[in-house]
Amino acid sequence: MKIALVGQPNCGKSTIFNSVAGYRAATGNFPGTTVRLAWSTVRLNGVVAELVDVPGIYSLTSNNPAESAAKKFLLNENISLIINVLDASLLSRSLELTLELREMGIPMIVCLNMMDEAERRGVRISSQELSALLELPVVETIGYRGVGVRELFRQGTRQINQPLRPAEFIRWHRDVETSVEQMQGVIESNAHAHRLPSRFLAIKLLENDDDIFRETGPEASDTAVRLRAQLETTRGRPAESVIMSERHDRAMRLFEQTATVTRPHRDPRATLDSLLTHPLWGYVFLAVILVGFFWAVFGFGSMLENAISGRLDLLTTYLLAQVPKGGLKHALIASLMDGVQGGAGIVLPYLVPFLFGLAFLEDVGYLPRVAYLMDGLLHRIGLHGTSMLPIILGYGCSVPACMATRILPSRRDRFLASVLATLVPCSARSTVIFALVAFYLGPMWALGIFCFNALVVIFSGWLLARVWPEISAGMILEVPRYQWPTFRMLTGKVWLRLREFVILSWPLLIAGSLVLGLGAYWNFDHYANVALSPLTLILGLPVVLGTTLVFGVLRKELALIMLAQALGTTSVATVLTATQIVVFTIFITFYIPCLATLVALVKEIGKKMTALAAAYTFVLATLMGVAARLVLPLILGR
Amino acid sequence: MVQIVAGQSATRQLAQLGICAGTRLKVRRSAPMGGAILVDSGGSMVAIGRGMARKVGVRILE
């Protein structure tokens, strides 16, 4: 049995999903956070069901891959209950989707979410009246605080297996209604048995929906073409636009019948927003926020690193003192502790504050503002503001960033955005930058690397846009209200992302450290290093770092741990020069995306494009590394 | 808002966000150097790229 959470983007579906299923689906305050279906088996009032979090859709006509995945699911799966989530503060617009879903004839319940927000906006909704008019149960909720969610599922499960009365109340202007009826007649006369009501199919055909055409056969298609042309001549605009405005009018009427609008409360967020989107101050704040974010992560991170590393060092020294020096046991313990220390002492201290900061920016709703601010600049390099969302998400992890490109309508934009998103230092690479460059050379250097990276990303965007020119279709992006995230939401999200490091990367890291340690013990790593020596030589790095670079392809943070392992010391500055540290970091930052990202890329843009992207990043990394090697000594004076 | 002279998909996307003929829009902000504009339509804010915004015909009310 399937229960689907369906609603417009950013209406809080995932928050409701998580409050029942545990923190499984990433939430965020921007449209298109959920780009794929999330499933969870839940037990609701004695009923075991598959709860499905469906990506947000504005209507059943899709604009991008994320939305068409949602639509396909709704049209083809056998769904027992639709929970239609609405942002109550945007009631009239949200009802348009409700009207569309209502005609599908699937048992349904309406969830008026964000009731607190509606109240603040001065929108009073009578849910009884709405329920009576829609002929559906309506439950009010405040998702992020969990208010009303239990009641929603209690009433929802009661709807399952209850036949839904046809929506007689959705009747349109006579000319449109006549066309719909004629269309319906043709569909019903067809021998095919359809799972969906004929009225729903008829309307979708008049809206020129390709997915439905495939289902209803040629005779219906011919009639649809004729009726659409007829509507177009009488109304003077395309049939789909006629139907959309019918729906719009009906939703508007419902809104007027059930809601009263009084004066909104004064909203301090409006003042904040006028500052953060100001043509001058907006950019100043953007810079301040990014640099502040950077300092905060570094400050917390180095504090934690000092505290944890010191203790772990003591433990390592103690353990090593127990076994004879130079033996296999000694090598084993040393490399094991390197792996443990790498995770707890170097990666986690920076990763945790970084993820918290990013989660906060995402949940507050700042990212769409950045998209707005950057649209002009991005246009110049042949992209548009919406592409900014996946690129910023790339600072967290490249994998969800590549998936987030599904909110972009054009294939070319998806390619560009996913390549650029993989060039941006993800949290693992940021860890390398923080723990190496910031820690040994000072935070200004690390900031410099981030800025340098941003320049290279902009340049790459410009270059790739020239290689694949296409007039970018301009941004249309909803900018949500600011929302103060609850602590539980933040920790849930940070843990969701951290879990991957703790249960997947860290064990891999320890294993990698053991392999390298044993390899060094038996002198195996020598061959790998020799094979990679052309690369290490042009970069001016010690030959022993060859294997490290290979490990970096598995997981980027592995390169850092392996660095310490390969050099035989955790105080890197004693063996590497400042230039070498920077070159190593730059190379690691740019070169071939990690394995998980490559897999994600293949899925999003295909094998050929992924190979191209990997080759491009490798060449770029080598060029940048060599350039840094040549230029830096001049600045550093050595 | 008077009319939109743009492609099918853009027109649809705007309509889904509540921007269609007859809607009252309020321009909240416009970014410098040919950047996007921020429009308030019935309580929801929409960022629209400059090129796209040029295709939205409006009659100025105040």
Model pLDDT for residues A219-261, shown as the tens digit of each residue: 888 899 999 999 999 988 888 888 988 999 999 999 999 999 8
Judging contacts by C-beta atoms under 8 Å, the chain A residues touching residue B46 are 476-479
Residue in chain A lying closest to B3 (CA)? A237
Three-point CA angle A233, A235, A236, nearest 5°: 65
Kindly tell me the sign of the dihedral angle through the C-alpha atoms of A159, A72, A389, A98: negative
Residue given tokens 């729903």 in the structure block? A200
ipTM for the predicted complex comes to 0.90
Kindly report the nearest CA distance between residue A70 and chain B, in angstroms: 16
> Where among A105, A132, A159 does a domain terminate?
A159
Kindly report the nearest CA distance between residue A524 and chain B, in angstroms: 56
- Those residues whose C-beta lies under 8 Å from the C-beta of residue A264, and which sit 6 or more positions away, are A120, A121, A122
Interface probe for B, chosen from A248, A276, A378, A476 (most Cβ of B below 10 Å), is A476
Secondary structure class of A350 (helix, strand, coil): helix
The pLDDT of A63-89, averaged and rounded, is: 91
Judging contacts by C-beta atoms under 8 Å, the chain A residues touching residue B42 are 90, 92-93
Cβ B55 vs Cβ B49: under 8 Å: no
- What 8-state DSSP symbol labels residue A480? P
**CB-based contact (8 Å) between A409 and chain B?**
yes
Write the residue in B47, B48, B50 that is nearest to A368 by C-beta: B47
Kindly report the nearest CA distance between residue A404 and chain B, in angstroms: 18
The pLDDT of A211-217, averaged and rounded, is: 79
- Please give the single-letter amino acid code of residue B31: A
Residues A150 and A183 in one domain: no
Write the residue in B20, B28, B34 that is nearest to A376 by C-beta: B34
Buried b vs exposed e over A221-245: b needs ≥16 C-beta within 10 Å? eebbeebbeebeeeeeebbbbbbbb
Write the residue in A248, A474, A480 that is nearest to B49 by C-beta: A474
Residues A371 and A425 in one domain: yes
**CB-based contact (8 Å) between A93 and chain B?**
yes
**CB-based contact (8 Å) between A92 and chain B?**
yes
Q: In what order do the strands lie in the sheet with A47-53?
A: A38-44, A47-53, A2-7, A81-87, A108-113, A138-140
Where does A190-348 show beta strands of DSSP type E?
259-261
Confirm whether A380 is domain-assigned.
yes
Number of residues assigned to chain B: 62
Cβ A196 vs Cβ A104: under 8 Å: yes
Q: Do A244 and B7 touch (CB under 8 A)?
A: no
CATH number among 2.30.30.90, 3.30.160.270, 2.40.30.10, 1.25.40.10, domain B3-57? 2.30.30.90
Tokens of A318: 């103690």
pLDDT tens-digit series, residues A329-384: 888 888 888 788 778 877 788 888 888 888 898 889 898 999 999 888 888 887 88
Cβ B17 vs Cβ A478: under 8 Å: yes
Query: What pLDDT does B50 receive?
Result: 85
Confirm whether A267 is domain-assigned.
no
pLDDT tens-digit series, residues A280-322: 999 999 999 988 988 888 888 888 888 888 888 888 888 888 8
Judged against a pLDDT cut of 70, whether residue B3 lies above it is answered with no
Residues A252 and A396 in one domain: no
> Where among A261, A296, A326 does a domain terminate?
A261
Residues A240 and A297 in one domain: no
Judging contacts by C-beta atoms under 8 Å, the chain B residues touching residue A255 are none
What is the band of A203 on the pLDDT scale with cuts at 50, 70, 90? very high
Judging contacts by C-beta atoms under 8 Å, the chain B residues touching residue A58 are 13, 16-17
Distance CA A54, CA A107 (A): 16
Selected residue with higher pLDDT from A110 and A376? A110
Judging contacts by C-beta atoms under 8 Å, the chain A residues touching residue B50 are 375-376, 379, 474
- Provide, rounded to the nearest whole percent, the portion of chain A with pLDDT above 90: 30
Three-point CA angle A487, A122, A481, nearest 5°: 40
Question: Which domain covers residue A517, as residue numbers?
Answer: 281-479+488-636
A/B interface, count of CB pairs below 8 Å: 122
Interface probe for A, chosen from B3, B4, B11, B17 (most Cβ of A below 10 Å), is B17
Cβ A333 vs Cβ A323: under 8 Å: yes
Judged against a pLDDT cut of 90, whether residue B9 lies above it is answered with no
Residues A501 and A532 in one domain: yes
- Those residues whose C-beta lies under 8 Å from the C-beta of residue A621, and which sit 6 or more positions away, are A586, A587, A589, A590, A591, A592
Query: What pLDDT does B5 receive?
Result: 67
Q: Do B52 and A473 touch (CB under 8 A)?
A: yes
The number of distinct structural domains making up chain A is 3
Secondary structure class of B27 (helix, strand, coil): strand
Residues A315 and A253 in one domain: no
Cβ A503 vs Cβ B62: under 8 Å: no
Residues A242 and A285 in one domain: no
Confirm whether A550 is domain-assigned.
yes
Q: Do A375 and B8 touch (CB under 8 A)?
A: no
Residues A146 and A192 in one domain: no
Write the residue in A240, A372, A480 that is nearest to B36 by C-beta: A372
Residues A70 and A186 in one domain: no
First to last CA, chain A: 69
> Where among A159, A194, A212 does a domain terminate?
A159
Residue A523: phi and psi, rounded to 5, are 65, 30
Residue A73 Rama label (left phi>0; alpha psi -120 to 50; beta): alpha
Q: What CATH number should be reported for the domain holding residue A230?
A: 1.10.287.1770
How far lies A182's CA from each of A55, A178, A199, A211, A227, in Å? 33, 6, 10, 20, 9
Interface probe for B, chosen from A479, A481, A482, A483 (most Cβ of B below 10 Å), is A479
Q: Where are the domains of chain B?
A: 3-57
Residues A37 and A89 in one domain: yes
Residues A250 and A377 in one domain: no
Write the residue in B10, B14, B47 that is nearest to A375 by C-beta: B47
Residues A329 and A362 in one domain: yes
How far lies A264's CA from each of A56, A124, A270, A458, B45, in Å? 27, 11, 12, 42, 16
Q: What CATH number should be reported for the domain holding residue A6?
A: 3.40.50.300
Distance CA A510, CA A562 (A): 10
Query: What pLDDT does A37 receive?
Result: 86
